[in-house]
Every structure is written in C-alpha cells, then in structure tokens.
C-alpha cells in the first residue's frame, strides 16, 4: 500500500489529454402501417427510430440520435439510462451497448468518444409512446421510418488477406426525408475479421450518426438471427404469431416461410385462451412469451 501511495503522490492525471465520453442511443420500435386502408388485409408494420432535432450548435437544426455526455460519477450505462428516461419517460426499455465510435474529427467540439446503444420499445405502450419529447439541447423529437438496403457488394483479395465492401442506403422518413450512403468494409486477415464503417454521403444527420445507425441496425439483425428472444422486446404482452413474424421480417428485411418460422419459434411462445379480430379475417389466437426460456 505504501508503494501505491507513493506512486499516487507523484502521479498527475492532468499530464494526459483525456476525451469527453458521450452516449448515443438508437431507440427502435415497430408500429402498424396506418397508410394501408384495405380492411381485408392485415396492416403491415414499419420499423421506426427516434430522432431529435438539435437546438444548438454544432449541427443546429439537424436530426440526431438522442444522447448526451456522461456526467461525473456516472457509469456509461447509467448515463444512457438517464438520457433514455429524459427522451422517452421510461427506464423499462431493453438497452444494450453496440459499439464505440472514436474516429478523429467526428465531433467539431474536440476529442469526443461516443458509446452507442440500442434500445427496443414496445409501441403498444401508449403512455410511453406519447411521452416522447425533446430534452436537453434538442428542440423536438420524432419517430422516423427507417430502412437499410444493400446497393452494392464487392471483394478485394490479396496474397495475405481478403476484403469485402458492402454499400448501404439508409433511408429515414418523418417530417423530412433523409438518405445516407454508408460503406461497410470487412477485412479478413489471419482468420480474423475486422469491420469498419465509413460515410459516403450524409447531409441531414448530425455527427457520424448515419454510420452509428447503420452499424446498430446491422447488429440488431445479427442478434435476431441467433437470439430469437430479441424480437419480444418489441412485442406487447399478447400477440398473434403473424404479428411476431412481421416483426422478424421488418427487421431482417426479408420474407420468412410461415411453417418454418412457426416451428422455429414454437418453444418461445405459449398459447392463451384469448383471441383477436384482424380486419375481415376470422379471430386469431393470442400468444405470450414463454417466460421459462426468457429467464435462462
């Protein structure tokens, strides 16, 4: 202990330049598509993400992910939970770390590292959805439709490694339409994979948030492939199997074969004695999540 005290008495933390730490949170929900008016069809769904319009510089009046700086005495997780509470009025949402963004020049104010988070919210919680509001230096908050599509694929191979490049088009639709082009480079070297995202075009999103959104949405898709429980954080207490399949399809951006999906999901749900009417269809059975699997 004496050696430690002696060391600390001469150690000056101010000798080292230190970054500020921020959190940025991609808050997702899935809602019915209200633009569909054909009563004979079940309403399709839309994936939405919460954005805030910045009220201050830098990037004043541009849209951004909710978030903020980590305060003294807070952990990064605590800061993210606080920011989520300020923007949505809840701390009940599922939230998970999804990557660190530390590229030089990502913030014009200086050396600022962002820890990105993914949060999933059930849109059936009306009180929660209505509590969405702008906090801190934001002037308004809004849910945007979000889609991410591959518009280009390519490969480069050398003697020692291989690199694949995927180009994505990120589309956001709310009060404004926002489009960004993002590249994902995957370098395979010595049997290991490194992934790097870069912005090709992004005019209406602040900072590097188009890159963060692309990265997190890809992580959500990957997570859903190997952990089916993820989708249930977007579901109400009671749901139809069709509703559940649509959530998988809208996130994965692909159509699933109904019998195969139901076999795959069978152990994760429990049938109830409740039913619901959907449009002109016969009543559909309602299910709940199988909590025995969720506590494992």
Q: Which amino acids are annotated catalytic?
A: 140
Find out whether 195 and 184 touch, Cβ atoms under 8 Å. yes
Find out whether 248 and 226 touch, Cβ atoms under 8 Å. no
Distance set, CA 209 to CA 25, 124, 134, 169, 194 (Å): 10, 27, 17, 14, 20
Give the span between the Cα atoms of 279 and 13, in whole angstroms: 65
User: Residue 97 forms beta bridges with which residues?
Assistant: 117
DSSP 79-126: HHHHHHHHHHS-S-SEEEEEEEE--TTSSTTSSEEEEEEEEE--TT-H
Distance set, CA 172 to CA 149, 179, 180 (Å): 12, 6, 9
Helix 241-252, helix 209-226: angle, nearest 10? 130
Find out whether 83 and 25 touch, Cβ atoms under 8 Å. yes
Find out whether 29 and 123 touch, Cβ atoms under 8 Å. yes
């Amino acid at each position: 202990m004496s050696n430690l005290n002696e060391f600390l008495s001469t150690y000056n933390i101010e000798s080292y330049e230190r970054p500020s730490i921020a959190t940025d949170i991609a808050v997702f929900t899935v809602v019915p598509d209200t633009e569909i008016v054909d009563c004979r069809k079940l309403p399709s769904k839309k994936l939405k993400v919460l954005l805030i319009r910045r009220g201050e510089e830098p990037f004043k009046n541009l849209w951004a992910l909710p978030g903020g700086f980590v305060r003294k005495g807070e952990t990064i997780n605590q800061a993210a939970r606080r920011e989520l509470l300020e923007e949505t009025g809840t701390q009940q949402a599922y939230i998970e770390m999804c990557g660190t963004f530390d590229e030089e020049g990502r913030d014009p104010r200086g050396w600022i590292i962002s820890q990105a988070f993914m949060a999933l919210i059930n849109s059936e919680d009306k009180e929660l959805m209505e509590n969405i509001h702008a906090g801190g230096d934001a002037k308004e908050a809004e849910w945007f439709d979000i889609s991410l599509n591959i518009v280009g694929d390519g490969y480069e191979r050398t003697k020692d490694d291989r690199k694949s490049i995927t180009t994505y088009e990120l589309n956001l639709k709310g009060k404004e339409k926002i489009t960004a082009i993002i590249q994902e480079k995957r370098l395979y070297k010595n049997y290991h994979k490194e992934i790097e995202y870069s912005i090709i075009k992004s005019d209406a999103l602040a900072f590097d948030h188009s890159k963060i959104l692309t990265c997190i949405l890809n992580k959500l898709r990957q997570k859903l492939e190997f952990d089916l429980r993820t989708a249930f954080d977007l579901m109400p207490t009671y749901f139809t199997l069709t509703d559940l399949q649509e959530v998988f399809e809208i996130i994965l951006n692909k159509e699933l074969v109904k019998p195969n999906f139901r076999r795959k999901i069978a152990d994760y749900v429990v049938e109830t004695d409740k039913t619901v009417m959907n449009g002109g269809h016969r009543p559909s059975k309602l299910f709940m999540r199988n909590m025995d699997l969720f506590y494992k």
